[in-house]
Amino acid sequence: MANLPENYQLRLGKPSDRYLLINFLTRTYQEFFPEQKNLSHLADTVRQFFGLDTPLWIVEGQQTAIACLWMGSAVDQVTGDRYGHIFLIYVDPQHRRQGIATALIDRAKDWAKSRGQTHIGLQVFINNDNALNLYQNLGFQTRSLLMWKNI
């Protein structure tokens, strides 16, 4: 696993980190969809999916949570194989561009490998240029596009 920068520590999340996960999810959606005022449904998502099979890792800097990785497994609908799916990777804007996200991706790879999986995947917002560039530089390839239309 890539090392975190000095003064940052990675720890495995625990059930009491549920509210921290909701906070990180909310911050992510607020950043890319500022017009969306009501994000209360994200708490329902966490309540439904956060558990032992969907681990959370927290990065702390000076004992303050500044980043997270939330994962689970999914099934590749082309091959039927299970793969590690990243539900959320978030780094506080003041701590970006220091290698934290890269270290979290490495943690994701290690977790998937430990479960016998050979791939990891994620969904990224099309307007998140920094993340798109990072993922492409790390060897991710576009596999599908989610298309959306108002009706």
Residue-level pLDDT at 3? 87
If you average pLDDT over residues 93-97, what whole number do you get?
96
Residue-level pLDDT at 45? 96
Residue-level pLDDT at 146? 85
Residue-level pLDDT at 80? 95
Residue-level pLDDT at 81? 95
Q: Assess contact for 69 and 28: CB atoms under 8 A.
A: no
* Residue 2 pLDDT exceeds 70: no
Residue-level pLDDT at 62? 86
Q: Mind listing the pLDDT tens digit for each residue in 106-148?
A: 999 999 999 999 999 999 999 999 999 999 999 999 998 888 8
Q: Assess contact for 90 and 68: CB atoms under 8 A.
A: yes
Give the Cα separation of 102 and 98 in Å (integer). 9
If you average pLDDT over residues 95-114, what whole number do you get?
97
Q: Write down the pTM of the prediction.
A: 0.93
Q: How many CB atoms lie within 10 A of CB 65?
A: 18
Residue 126 region by backbone torsions, left for phi larger than 0, else alpha for psi between -120 and 50, else beta: alpha
Backbone angles phi, psi at 141, to 5 degrees: -125, 145
Residue-level pLDDT at 145? 87
Which of 41, 49, 51, 28 has its CA nearest to residue 127?
A: 28
* Residue 1 pLDDT exceeds 80: no
Q: Domains in the chain, start-ordered, CATH in brackets? A: 8-137 (3.40.630.30)
